[in-house]
Amino acid sequence: MHQVTLIPGDGIGPEVTAAARDVVDASGVKVQWDVQLAGLKVGEETGTPLPERVFASIERTRIALKGPTGTPFGEAYRVERTTKGADGRSETRVYPSVAIALRKELKLFANVRPSKSYPGVASRFSGVDIVLFRENSEDLYLGLERMVDADTAEALKIITRGATQRMAKFSADYMRRTGRKRVTIGHKSNVLKLTDGLFLKAAGEVLAGYPDITTDSRVIDALCMELVLKPETFDCLLLPNLYGDIVSDLLAGTVGGLGLAPGANLGNEYAMFEAVHGTAPDIAGKDIANPVSMILSSVMMLRYIGEAAAADRIEAALSQVLAEKRDVTRDLGGDAGTKRMTQAIVEKLK
Ligand code: NAD
């Protein structure tokens, strides 16, 4: 029996996580779900959107399947966590959202985003099957920005050898586990000679220790062009944080959009699987949200916990439902609701 923390989240989160849970349960894999509410509604009711019990649950299960959680726009919204250090003193850390607080607190330094074409899903491309590894702990996203004077702003881009090596090793190990063979490092070291130069060199050195994996590299702008000319020729990408953020959405676009994009945030101790899309407040509670992104996130979770056969079966069932187009949601050109589409996948699993 696997233990998994399930965070339904806000907006369409409860609907799409329920879909993922139904499909995983129908696959025959035994999961004990520890449901932990977090997000905007919990914040309004209890004063904190991310109660300590959520961390306690994930520290126990080590695996979380998370629905999207809302972050109010333009408000002074903060997510805080206070813990006691080894010296007994308490320390409070502040984050802009629940998702970021979880990623940082659980040291989930690797963001993994697969993009795959499925028959029946309208897209300009076919045959895309790329896994993008995005370093998630440093680069320009450390948020080290300041106004130098009234007319000048600066941001610090930090790349360290340690974080890059950790990410390269993580990517190579993930590739070995999942049978991937080639990784392309994206960089801009012709201009950012020190930061991107270090990323390219340190990652390349680690990957040289994996002779079964072919490593090459591209300047990030050239890579973007190649990705929209012939995405089917790439296998895996390894990118620093900012480029990884941008290119992962570009890749989602090549396979039909965000409604189909799963994601995982992984570290050495914990793993959190979440859809790439947000809470979609415009369609929440209407039984019209596309559950595929969340279901594919749970497929990634199953592979991670050693249930590859069940993951393959779910993916095959999902693929059939997409190809038949009969029971798909409106955004995919059908007229099914979230529940009907989920039920169609469950039926194929029987
Ligand atoms: P969004 O992804 O929620 O919605 C963008 C558009 O895509 C909307 O029109 C929505 O209806 C549609 N959409 C999204 N998911 C869909 C699905 N599964 N099926 C069908 N249509 C879907 O992005 P947003 O509007 O920028 O963000 C809304 C909220 O979500 C914000 O509060 C934001 O902070 C939050 N958010 C959370 C996470 C997370 O928890 N990881 C990620 C992104 C956004």
CA distance 71 to 342: 27
Best residue for ligand 1 mutational test, from 279, 298, 322, 330 (most atoms within 8 Å of Cβ): 279
Q: Which two tokens stand for residue 5?
A: 């923390």
Residue whose CA is closest, atom 12 of ligand 1? Answer: 280
138 CB near ligand 1 (under 6 Å): no
* pLDDT tens digit sequence for 94-125: 888 899 899 999 999 999 999 999 988 988 99
| Per-residue model confidence (pLDDT) at position 144 | 86
Q: For the sheet containing 236-239, what is the strand order?
A: 31-35, 2-7, 63-66, 271-275, 262-266, 110-116, 129-135, 236-239, 182-187, 214-219
| Per-residue model confidence (pLDDT) at position 257 | 81
278 CB near ligand 1 (under 6 Å): yes
CA distance 191 to 193: 5
Nearest Cα to Cα of residue 315 among 176, 143, 170, 116: 116
Q: Which residue has the higher pLDDT, 145 or 291?
A: 291
283 CB near ligand 1 (under 6 Å): yes
* pLDDT tens digit sequence for 148-202: 999 999 999 999 999 999 999 999 999 998 889 999 999 999 999 999 999 999 9
* pLDDT tens digit sequence for 34-72: 999 999 999 989 989 999 999 999 999 999 999 999 988
Rounded to two decimals, the pTM is: 0.92
Residue whose CA is closest, atom 13 of ligand 1? Answer: 280
CA distance 50 to 47: 9
64 CB near ligand 1 (under 6 Å): no
